[in-house]
Amino acid sequence: MMTARFILFFSTLSILCLSSGSVLGAPPVIIIDPGHGGRSIAGSLAERSNSSPNNATSPGGLREKDLTLEFSRILHDEILKEAGRAGINVGVLMTRNDDRNLNFVERAAIANRPDTACVVSIHFNAGGGGKALGSLALISSQQRNTNYAVDEAFGRAIAEACNAGVRKYIPSSKSRGIMTDGHLHGGLGSNFFFQMARHRNLRTVPKCFLEVEFIDNPAVEKALLRDGRAEKFQTIARSVAIFLVEWAEPKAKQR
Name the minimum Å distance from CB 44 to Zn ion. Answer: 18
**How far apart, in Å, are the Cα atoms of 191 and each of 34, 127, 197, 223?**
15, 20, 10, 32
The answer to whether the CB of 232 falls within 8 A of the CB of 143 is no
Q: Quick one: 87 or 128, whose CB is closer to Zn ion?
A: 128
Q: Does 22 engage in binding with Zn ion (CB under 5 A)?
A: no
Among the candidate windows 13-21, 55-63, 79-87, 143-151, which touches Zn ion by CB under 5 A? 55-63
Q: Does 34 engage in binding with Zn ion (CB under 5 A)?
A: no
Report the candidate in 205, 210, 209, 201 with the shortest Cα–Cα distance to residue 150: 205
Name the minimum Å distance from CB 194 to Zn ion. Answer: 16
Q: Does 156 engage in binding with Zn ion (CB under 5 A)?
A: no
Q: Does 176 engage in binding with Zn ion (CB under 5 A)?
A: no
Contact with Zn ion (CB under 5 A) among 55, 97, 147, 235? 55
Give the count of residues interacting with Zn ion (CB under 5 A). Answer: 3
Per-residue b or e along 148-165, where b marks 16 or more CB atoms closer than 10 Å to that residue's CB? eebbbebbbbbbbbbbbb
Q: Does 251 engage in binding with Zn ion (CB under 5 A)?
A: no
Q: Quick one: 63 or 238, whose CB is closer to Zn ion?
A: 63
Name the minimum Å distance from CB 88 to Zn ion. Answer: 30
Among the candidate windows 52-60, 197-205, 215-223, 231-239, which touches Zn ion by CB under 5 A? 52-60
Name the minimum Å distance from CB 199 to Zn ion. Answer: 22
Q: Quick one: 35 or 134, whose CB is closer to Zn ion?
A: 35
**How far apart, in Å, are the Cα atoms of 88 and each of 133, 146, 157, 182?**
34, 29, 20, 36
Q: Does 35 engage in binding with Zn ion (CB under 5 A)?
A: yes
β-pairing verdict for 13-15 and 91-94: antiparallel
Report the candidate in 62, 124, 135, 122 with the shortest Cα–Cα distance to residue 96: 122
The answer to whether the CB of 225 falls within 8 A of the CB of 214 is no
Report the candidate in 121, 148, 150, 149 with the shortest Cα–Cα distance to residue 136: 121
Q: Does 52 engage in binding with Zn ion (CB under 5 A)?
A: no
Among the candidate windows 48-56, 102-110, 191-199, 216-224, which touches Zn ion by CB under 5 A? 48-56
Region of residue 153 (left: phi > 0; alpha: psi -120 to 50; beta: else): alpha
Q: Quick one: 22 or 55, whose CB is closer to Zn ion?
A: 55
Per the document, the length of the chain is 255
Among the candidate windows 32-40, 81-89, 114-122, 245-253, which touches Zn ion by CB under 5 A? 32-40
Q: Does 107 engage in binding with Zn ion (CB under 5 A)?
A: no
Residues in contact with Zn ion by CB under 5 A are 35, 55, 123
